[in-house]
């Protein structure tokens, strides 16, 4: 069975994928990584580049003996997945780019990365984690899964938050999308406050033969807001 590798985004972690692990493990071998500085790997030295995160993830998979895999990247993890698709393309069967984009400065985001950096220094990591996590949900901090995701986000240190923001701000894959020849689907919640439709449209129209799925009534965390729809999309795509 070809494993499905899940790469979380900024201030995420492997524990955010509970609904996917519960629904998909009977039919898929799932590997949910924790990036250095985040989640269960919050103790590891931080990485401040998307390229660095991609190299770390590929190395982690190699250390586990994974030679062929399907890949899903969420948010910043989707940027990492794009780099992995270029660096490790011969080992990736299917690519799922979920709630992400190819322009790291995140045009159209709820606030600029510079604003996030300034507010993080002023507010500290825990307040920053909860404030940003609330933007991931249509119902913000009253959403059912907000506390679960906020607690994962709170594991990130001030250094990890700064490094993650630096990594995104310094990266762009816009001019390299044509190089991704892995079978791809782009998934986006239509109320996403982090990645605009323009980012989604760019991925969909620039990656050769990419498919598109738009999930209605969701923000940035479709995996937590409407997991049954995301799980269906994943399962359907992986057998295509």
Domain spans, the chain: 4-238
pTM listed for this prediction: 0.98
Residue 229 pLDDT? 98
Q: Which residues contact 43 (CB under 8 A, 6 or more apart)?
A: none
Whether residue 53 contacts residue 62, with contact meaning beta carbons closer than 8 Å, is answered with no
Compute the CA torsion angle 93, 96, 100, 105 (nearest 10 deg): 0
Q: How confident is the model at residue 51 (pLDDT cuts 50, 70, 90)?
A: very high
Q: How confident is the model at residue 209 (pLDDT cuts 50, 70, 90)?
A: confident
**Angular region, 8: left φ>0, alpha ψ -120 to 50, beta rest:** beta
Distance CA 179, CA 85 (A): 9
Q: According to the CATH classification, is domain 4-238 in 3.10.150.10? A: no
Q: Which has more pLDDT, 154 or 1?
A: 154
Residue 1 pLDDT? 84
Q: How confident is the model at residue 219 (pLDDT cuts 50, 70, 90)?
A: very high
Residue 240 pLDDT? 85
**Angular region, 138: left φ>0, alpha ψ -120 to 50, beta rest:** alpha
Question: What is the mean pLDDT of the segment spanning 151-178?
Answer: 98
Whole-number average pLDDT of the chain: 97
pLDDT digits (tens, 9 = 90+) for 32-44: 999 999 999 999 9
Percent of the chain with pLDDT over 70: 100
Question: What is the mean pLDDT of the segment spanning 211-224?
Answer: 98
pLDDT digits (tens, 9 = 90+) for 226-235: 999 999 999 9
Q: Is 18 a residue whose pLDDT tops 90?
A: yes
């Amino acid at each position: 069975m070809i494993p499905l590798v899940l790469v979380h985004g900024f201030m995420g972690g492997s524990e955010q994928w509970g609904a996917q692990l519960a629904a998909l493990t009977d039919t898929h071998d799932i590997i949910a990584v924790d990036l250095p500085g985040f989640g269960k790997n919050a103790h590891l030295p931080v990485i401040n580049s998307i390229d660095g995160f991609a190299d770390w993830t590929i190395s982690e998979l190699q250390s586990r003996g994974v030679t062929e895999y399907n890949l899903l990247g969420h948010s910043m993890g989707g940027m990492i997945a794009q780099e992995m698709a270029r660096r490790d393309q011969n080992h990736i069967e299917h690519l799922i780019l979920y709630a992400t984009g190819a322009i790291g400065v995140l045009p159209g985001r709820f606030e600029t990365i510079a604003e996030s950096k300034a507010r993080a220094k002023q507010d500290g990591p825990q307040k920053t984690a909860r404030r940003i996590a609330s933007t991931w949900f249509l119902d913000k901090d009253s959403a059912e899964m907000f506390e679960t995701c906020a607690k994962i986000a709170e594991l990130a240190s001030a250094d990890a938050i700064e490094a993650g923001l630096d990594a995104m701000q310094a990266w762009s894959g816009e001019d390299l999308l044509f190089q991704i020849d892995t079978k791809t689907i782009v998934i986006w919640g239509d109320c996403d406050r982090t990645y605009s439709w323009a980012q989604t449209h760019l991925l969909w129209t620039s990656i050769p033969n990419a498919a598109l799925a738009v999930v209605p009534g969701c923000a940035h965390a479709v995996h937590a807001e409407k997991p049954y729809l995301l799980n269906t999309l994943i399962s359907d795509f992986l057998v295509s």
